[in-house]
Amino acid sequence: MKIIIILLICVPSLLAEDNAGDISFKYGFLGQFKSNPDSTVLLSDSSVIHTGDRVRINIGYLKESNFLLIFKDSKGDFDIFYPDLAKKESKQNDATEQDTIYATALSWAAFSDPPGNETFYLINSKKSLTELTNLIVRYKNAPDKAKGRLSNRIQADIDSLDPNLKGDLALIPSRLDKPMAGGVTFRGDDDEDLKDMSLTHICGGSGGIAFQKIILIHQ
């Protein structure tokens, strides 16, 4: 499956660590089903989606940390959705005076065939993730015969960050009391409604890594 990124939005604001470990980030994993396109729903690990359904991912993380959104599609191909390397997102982040980055890591994008597992890795790290980023860039530019070897290296590097595979304590993401956008909690009668910029969960980690793996089951 190939996903085309339509738009990237970055709004700086303030993010608290919320006692979720020594590093944390907020995110909203939103979906719109082709069968009901006017309704926005929350997607989570093992959610079932179909061809034509759309996904959107919003994030909020401390400027002093590093964030990657990596996608492995149903064919096993890797891509980086955030940061947008073509737009030199890191330089934009360095320029902001705020201590937090709020961004749409993936704007509304539709799933296409073939069916299978669509895997998203949300990784927030106190240390640089340049080596992993460069490896995926090499993979994307490599000839087909070299991609298998690079794909194995990418997966190994990602797995080395996964607390569930390392035997470290993995903190379970928790739902925010109310959705928020750009650091502002929604108020009023519709504060439970999901909006395009909604952040709904916080993921914490230890050892300088907050890691969330979400697999959508594409049927």
User: pTM (2 decimals)?
Assistant: 0.83
Helix (H) or strand (E) segment spanning residue 211: strand 209-218
Answer for the pair 203, 212: CB distance below 8 angstroms, yes or no: yes
Count the residues in the chain: 219
Give me the pLDDT at residue 54, please: 98
What radius of gyration do the chain's Cα atoms show? 17
Q: What integer pLDDT is reported at residue 97 of this predicted model? A: 66
Q: Dump strand ranges (E) for 34-173.
A: 36-42, 48-49, 54-62, 66-72, 78-82, 100-110, 116-125
Q: What is the pLDDT of residue 103?
A: 94
pLDDT, position 75: 97
Please give the pLDDT value at position 16: 44
Q: Cβ(22)–Cβ(207) under 8 Å?
A: yes
Per-residue pLDDT of the chain (219 residues; tens, 9 = 90+): 655 443 333 333 334 444 456 999 999 999 999 999 999 999 999 999 999 999 999 999 999 999 999 999 999 999 999 998 877 544 445 555 679 999 999 999 999 999 999 999 999 999 999 999 999 999 999 999 999 999 999 999 999 999 988 766 556 788 887 888 765 554 444 445 688 999 999 999 999 999 999 999 999
